[in-house]
Amino acid sequence: MILEVRGLSKSFGGLVAIKDLDLSVSKGEIVGLIGPNGSGKTTFFNVVSGVYKPEKGIIAFDGKDIAGLKPHRICQLGVARTFQLTKPFTQMTTLQNAMIGRMYGSEPVYGMRQAMEECEGILEFVGLGEKRSTSASNLGIVERKRMEIARALATKPKLLLLDEMMSGLTPTEMEEALRLVKAIADSGVTLIVVEHVMKAILDISSKLIVLNYGEKIAEGDPQDVVKNPKVIEAYLGE
């Protein structure tokens, strides 16, 4: 297992965002994480990536308990993430944004030239090679999403947390995004994907986990999970 979570809980005042959550992710999997708005999906990402400190529980990443570590330390250990609302450095170019990830990632970098060359390759991989000199402020929403993925990949992650990269995409753009996710997995990176577009999540996921009010209500094969009465009632509708 690359990630094992046991008894994880996080509250905000009297609001329980995650309650006694147990889940595991095997190396090489693409795990879909779904649930209604407010079910705890992004909070889970924030806790795993170190933005929030859990009240209790174990987050074992690659055999090491990372619960409560600082975000930069968790990133250096091999966990990267994207955000539902993209967070580019708008005064920098696309290439410079990616290079920030490389400079502070999980592997040493020996100079700016190495970082630049590696990040140029990553931008080609995500389909932004021709935009490497473009200011991030001039990128469209699809390009910003890809740039954020490039910056995350530049940290050399073992585990990548993708937060709603399909939202707002056209059907053609979505197909391209799905191919990118599969290519990332083929490169050896394990993924947990939060997504509301069910067609997309069913297409890419090897396992599906469903949260509701911060608790796991289903886990397993995606085609079986979407038929689960609890999932239908909580999320999919009749």
- What are the extents of the domains in the chain? 1-78+158-238, 87-156
In three state form, how does the secondary structure of 86-136 look? CCCCCCCEHHHHHHHHHHCCCCCCCCHHHHHHHHHHHHHHHCCHHHCCCEH
Query: Residue 87's pLDDT is what?
Result: 84
Query: Residue 166's pLDDT is what?
Result: 86
Query: Residue 236's pLDDT is what?
Result: 63
CA 91 vs CA 3, 96, 127, 130, 155: distances in Å: 35, 10, 21, 18, 21
Strand 79-81 vs strand 159-163: parallel, antiparallel, or unpaired?
parallel
Q: Domain 1-78+158-238: which CATH class? A: alpha beta
Query: Residue 237's pLDDT is what?
Result: 61
Query: Residue 199's pLDDT is what?
Result: 87
Q: At what angle do helices 141-154 and 112-126 cross, to 10 degrees?
A: 130
What is the spatial distance between Cα 152 and Cα 63, in angstroms, rounded to a whole number?
Answer: 22
Query: Residue 107's pLDDT is what?
Result: 84
The helix (run of H) or strand (run of E) holding residue 31 is: strand 30-34
What is the spatial distance between Cα 21 and Cα 201, in angstroms, rounded to a whole number?
Answer: 21
Rounded mean pLDDT for each run of 10 residues along the chain, 238 residues in total: 96 92 96 93 96 95 94 96 88 95 86 93 97 95 94 97 89 93 97 91 94 94 92 74
